[in-house]
Amino acid sequence: MKSHRMLPMGILTLVAMSLCLTAPARAVEGHFERTLQVSGTVDLDVQTGSGTIDVHTGDSSTVRVSGAIRTAGGWLDGAGAEKKVRYLEANPPIEQHGNIIKIGRIEDEELQRNISISYEIVVPVETRLRSNSGSGEQNVSGLRGPVEASSGSGNLRLTNIGDMVRASTGSGHISVDGVKGTVRATTGSGEILAIGVAGGLHASTGSGSITLRQTAPGDVEVSTGSGTLQLEGVHGAVRAQTASGNILVEGEGAGSWRLSTASGGVTVRLPSQQGFALHARTVSGSIHTAREMTVQGTFGRHELEGKVGNGGFLLDVSTVSGNIRVE
């Protein structure tokens, strides 16, 4: 009888122990702040794992760094997590060598494990930036640049940059607004929005739309696996390709415009006085234009080759399934 009474108690004890082991520990949080004195152009390198990065401008003589530390939790962390956070509060990963500043480098793999640090950094306008996050978004604004930002899986937003921009993410949206220079943007899956670009655009996405509003001349090369391409105010050569989606290009042609889609329509809008040589092809669609044209070779519903005015730049347009309009 005694053994039968002990059995339920033993089972309850095991269940209680199991619950204690599997219950996640409370996330531990911490914070640090540092102000660094600088003089002249700053070269800034920032990296983090699963945290965010925010960089914006302040006065010309300091770099102010705020770091928010957080553990991922988990029953194996316990007191070790608390110890890590307190160590990083006292010893933040910040290195300065004159105007060269590196933030977020942690060589100790054990110290990095299950730790997330988000950074807010206030820098002089005259700053060159290289930033990388594993799985966190980034917001950068007001820098002279250039700026090179990358993320494994996070959105990137870059605004008012005074030089060229390179932005890449494995899975996330890229937004660029107000750049005085060439923009190079790539994402594995996400939209690319480039507004107020005073220069060229080289952009690609595996799945997502690409939108450009250009304010100064520069060549454009864009591609997407599935999504629309909308290019406005273009002043330069264009190469635009999508496997599935519509294409709209508006601007002043130069060099050549080569536009192609497998499934979708193509619309081209050019200044009324601009001449061009047209070669348009569609397999299952039609070709429309109100421009007076001298037909050079083929003329039909599915293919048109001719010259507007004295010719000029080459407009080469093709789609497998969709209509073509030249306005």
pLDDT exceeds 60 at position 227: yes
Quote the pLDDT of residue 73.
60
Query: What pTM did the predictor assign?
Result: 0.87
pLDDT exceeds 70 at position 12: no
C-alpha–C-alpha distance, residues 176 and 187, integer Å = 13
* Average pLDDT along the chain: 89
HSE (side-chain half, CA atoms, 13 Å) at 166: 8
User: Could you tell me which residues come within 8 angstroms of residue 25 by beta carbon, excluding any fewer than 6 positions away?
Assistant: 73, 74, 75, 77, 78, 81
C-alpha–C-alpha distance, residues 277 and 305, integer Å = 8
Quote the pLDDT of residue 57.
97
pLDDT exceeds 90 at position 18: no
C-alpha–C-alpha distance, residues 261 and 318, integer Å = 7
pLDDT exceeds 50 at position 17: no
Quote the pLDDT of residue 8.
55
C-alpha–C-alpha distance, residues 253 and 317, integer Å = 13
Lowest-confidence segment of 141-150, 187-196, 294-303 by average pLDDT: 294-303
Q: How confident is the model at residue 182 (pLDDT cuts 50, 70, 90)?
A: very high
Quote the pLDDT of residue 110.
84
Quote the pLDDT of residue 107.
87
C-alpha–C-alpha distance, residues 159 and 177, integer Å = 5
Task: Specify the 3-state DSSP secondary structure of 89.
Answer: helix
286 within 8 A of 303, measured Cβ to Cβ: no
Of 229 and 15, the structure prediction assigns the larger pLDDT to 229
Quote the pLDDT of residue 22.
46
Q: What is the mean pLDDT of residues 122-144?
A: 97
Quote the pLDDT of residue 4.
44
Kindly report, residue by residue over 268-321, the tens digit of the pLDDT: 999 989 999 999 999 999 999 888 878 765 566 688 898 988 878 999 999 999
Q: What is the mean pLDDT of residues 101-128?
A: 93
User: Could you tell me which residues come within 8 angstroms of residue 323 by beta carbon, excluding any fewer than 6 positions away?
Assistant: 265, 266, 282, 285, 286, 287, 288
* Phi, psi for residue 125 in degrees, rounded to 5: -55, -40
Q: What is the mean pLDDT of residues 137-147?
A: 97
Which residue carries 């899956």 as its tokens?
Answer: 189
* Ordered DSSP codes for 41-80: -EEEEEEESSS-EEEEE--SSEEEEEEEEEE---TTTTHH
Kindly report, residue by residue over 228-279, the tens digit of the pLDDT: 999 999 999 999 999 999 999 999 999 999 999 999 999 999 998 999 999 9
C-alpha–C-alpha distance, residues 37 and 57, integer Å = 14
Of 98 and 108, the structure prediction assigns the larger pLDDT to 98
Tell me 11's DSSP state.
Answer: H
**pLDDT above 70 covers what percent of the chain?**
88
ω into 146 cis (within 30 of 0): yes
C-alpha–C-alpha distance, residues 82 and 169, integer Å = 32
**pLDDT above 90 covers what percent of the chain?**
75
Which residue carries 């080289």 as its tokens?
Answer: 202
Quote the pLDDT of residue 226.
95
Q: What is the mean pLDDT of residues 180-185?
A: 98
Kindly report, residue by residue over 71-90, the tens digit of the pLDDT: 876 544 556 888 889 999 99
pLDDT exceeds 80 at position 25: no
ω into 92 cis (within 30 of 0): no
Kindly report, residue by residue over 110-123, the tens digit of the pLDDT: 887 888 999 999 99
pLDDT exceeds 90 at position 180: yes
225 within 8 A of 204, measured Cβ to Cβ: no
C-alpha–C-alpha distance, residues 177 and 193, integer Å = 8
230 within 8 A of 212, measured Cβ to Cβ: yes
205 within 8 A of 191, measured Cβ to Cβ: yes
Quote the pLDDT of residue 72.
75
Q: What is the mean pLDDT of residues 16-21?
A: 46
C-alpha–C-alpha distance, residues 85 and 92, integer Å = 10
Residues in the chain: 327
